Amino acid sequence: MAKAVGILEVFGLVAGFVAADAGCKAADVVVENFDKNKPGNADALPVPLIVSIKFRGDVSAVSAAIEAAAEAAERVSGVVSKHVIPSPESDTEKMLKLNALDKN
């Protein structure tokens, strides 16, 4: 059975690192690769880059990590969205491995 995954989208890479640190300190989770997205309306955003942080662990740990991470990111630049998937399907797992940080 797959581990739960929590996904937190924040404004900017600094908020991403702050959120990842807070989430890992709050619960027994592992951080997977970050992802990035520069939306079409980037100039209208507080920071023109959206970063996704993915936490893995059991459902309660992932939920605690997401809450702590979101609180930390709010103090930096803000949260776009957050969600916990208790048991991702195999096709979802494939999509979770994609990331754009290594692309231009």
pTM of the model: 0.88
Rounded to a whole number of angstroms, the distance between the first and last alpha carbons of the chain is 34
Q: 88-96: which pairs have CB atoms within 8 A and are 24 or more residues apart?
A: 88/2, 88/4, 88/5, 90/2, 93/2, 96/5, 96/32, 96/54
pLDDT string in tens for the chain (104-residue length): 569 999 999 999 999 999 999 999 999 999 998 998 887 787 887 778 899 999 999 999 999 999 999 999 999 999 999 999 999 988 888 888 777 666 55
Q: In which order are the strands placed within the sheet that holds 79-85?
A: 30-37, 50-57, 4-11, 79-85
